Structure 1
Amino acid sequence: MSVRISRQHWDALLGELGDAQRQRHLVTYRALIERLALPSPAMQTLAAALEHLAALDARGDRPLRSALVISQGASRLPRTGFFDCATRLGRFPGPSDGIAAASWHAAEVARVFEFDYPEAL
């Protein structure tokens, strides 16, 4: 099944991630789905959009903005799909859980907070 996001939702997603970066905070998948009012299948749509953004960031040799999106659970890490995507993009070389994942994620978030992203994508 192919999942697509509308231009309006894409622009809103980039805006939300830009706000999170400027305010130096993380946002949960649930909060993004609610703020963007994504239609069903909302989680699949958001995941596909975040993976697409990660691919664009990787291609542009930029830190992965999708690292700013985390689960609301105790781990405060992205879902395993984020780490799988980062591995496919050649950015993350380890298992999607544990100390190595948490450490790499923290470093990537710090890189995102410090990076000056271009306005348009």
Structure 2
Amino acid sequence: MTSVSISRHHWQALLAELDAARRQRHLVTYRALVERLQLPTPAMRTLTAALEHLAALDARSERPLRSALVISQGASRLPRTGFFECAARLGRFSGPADGAAAASWHAGEVARVFEFVYSEEL
């Protein structure tokens, strides 16, 4: 895996966007986040790496995965398969990265994120 870094400014902005989405009980698309954060290229790879890092931090602290709030623009309204692969690596999800099991697990994780109060220590 190649190392991709995100600036502190962009990291804080990402956390703020996800917190706003959580409080409003909304999901946000990858594309909308890239545009709102004005990430430098390779923007999508940077965003993906940041979301996976955040998922690892959340998993380590036994919090619901905030990265579950980020979804593809497609009809599925689900995150990309990489999200499910990351969640599986973190021991949070098992099964195929597409299909009913993934959709059901994702819906539950989103509900947990909406209910959880994240402290601002990050």
1:42 deviation in Å?
A: 0.3
- Counterpart amino acid of residue 92 in structure 1: F
Percent identity reads 80
Structure 1 residue identity aligned to 2:99? G
TM-score normalised according to structure 1 size: 0.99
Confirm whether residue 31 of structure 1 aligns to residue 32 of structure 2: yes
Q: TM-score, normalising length from structure 2?
A: 0.98
Secondary structure in 1 matching 2:26: coil
2:107 — aligned with what?
106
Q: Show the counterpart of 2:61.
A: 60
How far apart in 1 are the matches of 2:57 and 2:119? 12
In the TM superposition, 1:88-103 aligns within 5 A as 88-103=89-104
* Cα separation, 2, equivalents of 1:64 and 1:34: 22
Residue pairs, 1:4-83, within 5 angstroms: 4-83=5-84
Consecutive unaligned residues of structure 2, counting only runs of 5 or more, are none
Q: Segments of 4+ in structure 1 off by > 2 A?
A: none
How many residues were matched structurally?
121
Instruction: Look up the SS of the partner of 2:87 in the other structure.
Output: helix
CA distance in structure 1 between the partners assigned to 2:117 and 2:13 by the alignment: 19
Give 1:120 deviation, angstroms.
2.0
Distance 2:70 2:10 in 1: 16
Q: Residue type of the partner of 2:27?
A: L
In structure 1, stretches of 5+ residues that fail to align are: none
